[in-house]
Structure 1
């Protein structure tokens, strides 16, 4: 078996006044991360140096360049997306922080399209200060969807013990019900099922689907979306060969630990899925965008202006996002190998079984 090269992972700066750069510095102060990936930070060495002075315990070192062919797999590389001086004001929501967050993201996407990087980890940005003619999106996920021309994508929060995906994302509560359609649910289930196979190596994934209303509608007493929309969508998914189950009452589903019986859970709206996920994932959750040709992950938190520049940011979720991105890139490569040569999948299992039988003899 030949050793495959380490994946090259692009990392965006996020809002320059948030905790993104601090997370990067803290994460890559541990040189062992370089055993798993070659990181390329899309930012500016001047910005990184500003925040490096605010992190008291750091052994972070880097090389900076504007040429991809000079990337060193044994170093952290800062790819300079801009040369000008930037006024950094940690903890302040302003136009500068958002504009350079978008510049970093756009440079990273272009690098992936040019096959310079294999995956992407995005540091947090703030939804209000990134708005412009070129970026009229509610966050990374819809922007990436349009950037790659994907018909649909799924926001999926992942941790060791669960994966929670969403039908709707950043929309107002008053608009949720009108976006819950059988077509939307089926689209998400198809993407989740494919992702669990390709990105996670689960051959026959089981997917739980939550109801929209309290107690999953109580047989129509507190809403009928479960009966008229969600249940029929689940039935159609099953007819399409997807192992989908539900709809389940969201509160009891998480309270009783039923999520442990499934490979993923599809929630109807943002807080229905993310509140229990963040309560149970204990700070190590990863946001993964399923359905893209790009492997994209991010930490499951925001810009944290209240602690920006104070050396108080916890890099746990960010580090998990880096490992997760590398793992999915490698899993996709393995999946592609198995699809092109099915015997590659069968042979290791056969060899292992025969070896065990020989030992027993």
Structure 2
């Protein structure tokens, strides 16, 4: 009982996996976490390489950046910047290059952090960008973080949800070739994604009656069957069923007009059919402050909404805005879930 109370009262522990060290991950992690005042609100734990963070500290001339190197999560010091060391060896950094070594350590960081969050050593997970090619191995055969975490936490489905201050966009299909998208838009998948999105908006964002807009698959949402039938036979018919369950869903909307007219501001979230349909307008509207959140998991995981940015790696040009927002969002969702659980565990407490 005492341990549980102590765990509840401690600052939120934010585990941050270092991603591909040949990209901008260390630069954005350091820039996002270098203000010591933040540690009163949460405890950051970077799963990474002390020698690499030391190199960046020197390159960025951050003489006031202090951190505590630990060998495992039992040694985390709250209200300090912790670096959980994956290796003490000298590491060759090759900015802008995809190397097998970077992929191996990216995977090692993920596996270690997942083990720790399962054992409640950390509370939330923030993942820095990986290279989907060099991380691939016999152990990691997934298309990205979302698919990997869905598998590791043994849930049937999850939802890639892009989040900013003014917009939330989920996708029915994630990292698929365009030629395979249409065949993967099914009633079963739509129902699954809509249910995950609806539940997440209620529990993770505390929106009691969320309004969800659903985009069409084809240009002009099919134009009544002239430009494809999927919008009418699959998407529209599925939305009718969902509405009968009491969910506030609307559409399918033609994607270009929906975003171009600003209609997205009338909804709590948008469900796009495929990756670029949702992420291109999202990134334009969110600018540097977007976050990738994996809804539907038993744990909270966020990530910056950008990749490794090899082209600017090592040049001190990377913005930490998305990484910073990823940390803040993870903490907010973690607290929202606690609040939601408390409210529903004691339904009469609201009336007292």
User: What interval of TM-score do these two structures reach, taking the shorter chain for normalisation?
Assistant: over 0.9
How far did residue 56 of structure 1 move? 3.3
Report the TM-score, using the length of structure 2 for normalisation: 0.96
Query: Which runs of 5 or more residues in structure 2 are unaligned?
Result: 1-7
Report the TM-score, using the length of structure 1 for normalisation: 0.93
Provide the C-alpha distance between the structure 2 equivalents of 1:271 and 1:79, rounded to a whole number of angstroms. 35
Local SS of the residue matching 1:292: coil
Provide the C-alpha distance between the structure 1 equivalents of 2:63 and 2:161, rounded to a whole number of angstroms. 32
The match for 1:352 is none
Give the alignment partner of residue 175 of structure 1, picking from 180, 184, 191: 180
Matched, 1:231 2:236: yes
Local SS of the residue matching 1:53: helix
CA contact 2:15–2:122 (8 Å) conserved in 1: yes
How far did residue 311 of structure 1 move? 1.1
Matched, 1:296 2:301: yes
The match for 1:198 is 203
The match for 1:328 is 333
How far did residue 58 of structure 1 move? 6.2
> What per-residue deviation string (whole Å, max 9, x for no partner) do you get for residues 243-274 of structure 1?
11100010010011111111100000001000
The match for 1:120 is 125
Local SS of the residue matching 1:324: helix
Provide the C-alpha distance between the structure 1 equivalents of 2:340 and 2:275, rounded to a whole number of angstroms. 30
The match for 1:207 is 212
The match for 1:357 is none
CA contact 1:26–1:60 (8 Å) conserved in 2: no
The match for 1:265 is 270
The match for 2:164 is 159
Local SS of the residue matching 2:10: coil
The match for 1:222 is 227
CA contact 2:42–2:79 (8 Å) conserved in 1: no
CA contact 2:72–2:85 (8 Å) conserved in 1: no
Say if 1:346 and 1:122 are closer, same or farther in 2 by CA, change over 3 A.
farther
Provide the C-alpha distance between the structure 2 equivalents of 1:317 and 1:152, rounded to a whole number of angstroms. 25
> What per-residue deviation string (whole Å, max 9, x for no partner) do you get for residues 57-97 of structure 1?
56321001113332221210011122333221111111111
The match for 1:28 is 33
Matches within 5 A, 1:1-361: 4-57=9-62, 59-347=64-352
CA contact 2:15–2:123 (8 Å) conserved in 1: yes
| RMSD, matched Cα | 1.4
CA contact 2:11–2:79 (8 Å) conserved in 1: no
CA contact 1:56–1:311 (8 Å) conserved in 2: no
How far did residue 13 of structure 1 move? 0.3
How far did residue 32 of structure 1 move? 2.5
> What per-residue deviation string (whole Å, max 9, x for no partner) do you get for residues 18-65 of structure 1?
111111111111123213211111112112112212213563210011
Provide the C-alpha distance between the structure 2 equivalents of 1:100 and 1:70, rounded to a whole number of angstroms. 21
Query: Which runs of 5 or more residues in structure 1 are unaligned?
Result: 348-361
Provide the C-alpha distance between the structure 1 equivalents of 2:222 and 2:174, rounded to a whole number of angstroms. 21
How far did residue 14 of structure 1 move? 0.5
Aligned length: 346
Provide the C-alpha distance between the structure 2 equivalents of 1:343 and 1:68, rounded to a whole number of angstroms. 38
> What per-residue deviation string (whole Å, max 9, x for no partner) do you get for residues 187-210 of structure 1?
000000000010000011111000
Local SS of the residue matching 2:130: coil
Provide the C-alpha distance between the structure 2 equivalents of 1:293 and 1:58, rounded to a whole number of angstroms. 39
